[in-house]
């Protein structure tokens, strides 16, 4: 009896000693798992954001000129055929549907497309009576299909994890704008027209400034970042990091190897503390009517911020100079990251704040549309004051819409009981994009309502 008591005492001591070592390991595993999810989500929009950020340099060397953002917007709309197919398969297959093969497809084809784009972005083909950038548009269309699909499958994938890891998804998506911005900052501005006299001295002709490194190098760097996303996803899928971190949502996984962590192991500096022995969703849920209202708000904000305005960025900004366009491409991705930081501090906001933010964003959007309609000679064109105002407006709009999108998604994730909440959240983004981008493409490319400038021609003579 005395021997058995000693054995029990030794066993308890060994268990206690093992738990002391397991708690730090679980803490580090949580941090690693969080980072891996962030890196995996870089592949969601970094390729297409990279193209948008690089447009200030590309736009001077392609025949489409100022119309290229609207063409990209149309590509995004046409690319919705892929999310539609995925949606149909998801509804048809039900619980047999798995988003994992589609995530592999998004990442791998994205890598290949970036490599092709790196070497053929400025190649043109004579088609329908004019030169067209078929390689650029074709690769952009492919990237649009992939990234639009990522809005569905990446958010669908996060249902496998505890709610705290939703922040990692938004952070990863936010960095898809910041990383291309940092690359653009290292690359420097380019594509700015310098007017010199022609040989006969009768007219001015443009020459364009060159960045520190080429578009080809830039796109190869983007491709290498997506390779890192592929490696992160492979590690999440084929290693035991998820079980070590106890990151799986208990209601989604029934893996017997996922044991509950003790309180000491749950304190991670990067994620909030949640009792791992209970499902992470709270008991109090939002109503169906409020859920539908939030989806409508998200659709409208996507309609304005992702559908209408991106097509008008050249017409609303370039009349204030190439540098204004360059700084908007630098600052807008940072605005999304700032919105993410705000959502970490104030994750839950009242519904009336969401409504007020939507109204303010709409007012800014109407002002930007008005400026674009006045192109090529809008209010305060070719002035520093005008450039500062238009850059500030774009920056403010991006913060507002991004913050509303993050807080709305967080509310749906945490308080909507249905499993498809985040899936429909992703659908509303694509719906808003479609409703805004198609009309803008028609207005720009068929009705010519918005006017562009030619290099080395003087505009706004009455204001000089």
> pLDDT tens across 171-181, in order?
888 788 888 88
The angle at the Cα of 412, spanning 425 to 78, to the nearest 5 degrees, equals 5
Residue 332 or 458, more confident? 332
**Mean pLDDT across 127-152:** 87
**Residue 17: predicted pLDDT:** 46
> Is residue 6's pLDDT more than 80?
no
> Is residue 28's pLDDT more than 80?
yes
**Residue 191: predicted pLDDT:** 63
> Is residue 365's pLDDT more than 90?
yes
Instruction: Report which of 294, 302, 311, 319 is spatially closest to residue 389, judged by C-alpha positions.
Output: 319
Q: 248 — phi, psi (to 5°)? A: -75, 140
| Least trusted range by pLDDT, from 109-113, 230-234, 238-242 | 238-242
Residue 124: pLDDT band (50, 70, 90) is confident
**Residue 284: predicted pLDDT:** 67
Q: 123 — phi, psi (to 5°)? A: -80, 135
Residue 14 or 42, more confident? 42
**Counting Cβ atoms within 10 Å, is residue 253 exposed (0-12), middle (13-18) or buried (19+)?**
middle
Q: Which fold has domain 24-248+286-463?
A: Growth Hormone; Chain: A; (1.20.1250)
Q: 387 — phi, psi (to 5°)? A: -65, -45
Residue 142 or 197, more confident? 142
**Residue 73: predicted pLDDT:** 87
**Residue 148: predicted pLDDT:** 82
Domain ranges in the chain are: 24-248+286-463
- The answer to pTM > 0.85 is no
**Mean pLDDT across 357-364:** 95
Residue 425: pLDDT band (50, 70, 90) is confident
Residue 288: pLDDT band (50, 70, 90) is confident
**Residue 91: predicted pLDDT:** 84
**Residue 421: predicted pLDDT:** 83
Residue 333 or 386, more confident? 386
> Is residue 183's pLDDT more than 80?
yes
For the chain, the average pLDDT equals 81
β-bridge mates for residue 161, sequence order: 248
CB 436 within 8 A of CB 308: yes
**Residue 14: predicted pLDDT:** 52
> Is residue 85's pLDDT more than 80?
yes
Residue 461: pLDDT band (50, 70, 90) is low
Instruction: Report which of 64, 323, 282, 298 is spatially closest to residue 190, judged by C-alpha positions.
Output: 323
β-bridge mates for residue 125, sequence order: 132
Residue 369: pLDDT band (50, 70, 90) is very high
Euclidean distance between CA atoms 139 and 141, whole angstroms: 5
User: Each residue of 186-213: pLDDT tens digit?
Assistant: 888 766 667 777 666 666 776 777 788 8
In percent, the amount of the chain with pLDDT more than 70 equals: 84
């Amino acid at each position: 009896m005395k021997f058995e008591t000693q054995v029990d005492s030794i066993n308890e001591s060994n268990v206690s000693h093992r738990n002391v070592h397991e708690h730090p390991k679980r803490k580090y595993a949580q941090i690693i798992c969080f980072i891996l999810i962030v890196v995996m989500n870089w592949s969601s929009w970094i390729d297409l954001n990279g193209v948008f950020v690089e447009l200030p340099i590309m736009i001077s060397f392609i025949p489409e000129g100022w119309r290229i953002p609207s063409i990209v917007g149309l590509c995004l709309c046409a690319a919705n055929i892929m999310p539609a197919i995925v949606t149909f398969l998801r509804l048809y297959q039900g619980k047999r549907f798995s988003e994992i093969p589609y995530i592999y497809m998004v990442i791998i084809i994205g890598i290949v497309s970036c490599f092709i784009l790196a070497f053929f972005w400025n190649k043109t083909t004579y088609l329908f009576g004019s030169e067209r950038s078929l390689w650029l548009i074709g690769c952009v269309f492919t990237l649009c299909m992939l990234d639009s699909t990522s809005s569905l499958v990446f958010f669908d994938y996060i249902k496998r994890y505890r709610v705290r890891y939703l922040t990692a998804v938004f952070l990863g998506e936010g960095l898809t704008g910041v990383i291309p911005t940092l690359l653009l900052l290292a690359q420097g501005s380019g594509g700015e027209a310098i007017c010199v006299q022609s040989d006969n001295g009768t007219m001015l002709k443009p020459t364009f400034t060159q960045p520190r490194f080429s578009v080809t190098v830039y796109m190869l760097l983007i491709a290498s970042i997506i390779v890192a996303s592929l490696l992160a996803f492979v590690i999440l899928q084929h290693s035991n990091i998820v079980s070590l971190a106890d990151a799986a949502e208990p209601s989604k996984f029934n893996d017997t190897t996922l044991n509950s962590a003790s309180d000491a192991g749950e304190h991670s500096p990067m994620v909030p503390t949640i009792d791992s022995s209970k499902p992470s969703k709270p008991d109090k849920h939002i109503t169906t009517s409020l859920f539908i209202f939030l989806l409508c708000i998200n659709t409208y904000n996507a309609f304005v911020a992702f559908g209408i305005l991106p097509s008008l960025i050249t017409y609303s900004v370039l009349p204030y100079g190439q540098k204004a366009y360059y700084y908007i491409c630098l600052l807008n991705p940072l605005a999304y990251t700032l919105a993410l930081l705000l959502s970490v501090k104030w994750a839950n906001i009242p519904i009336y704040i969401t409504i007020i933010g939507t109204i303010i964003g709409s007012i800014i959007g109407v002002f930007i549309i008005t400026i674009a309609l006045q192109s090529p000679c809008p209010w305060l064109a070719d002035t520093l004051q005008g450039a500062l105002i238009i850059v500030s407006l774009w920056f403010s709009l991006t913060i507002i819409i991004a913050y509303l999108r993050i807080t709305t998604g967080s509310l749906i994730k945490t308080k909507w009981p249905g499993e498809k909440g985040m899936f429909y959240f992703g659908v509303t983004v694509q719906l808003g994009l479609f409703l805004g981008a198609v009309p803008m493409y028609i207005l720009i490319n068929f009705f010519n309502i918005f006017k562009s400038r030619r290099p080395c021609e003087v505009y706004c003579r009455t204001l000089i």
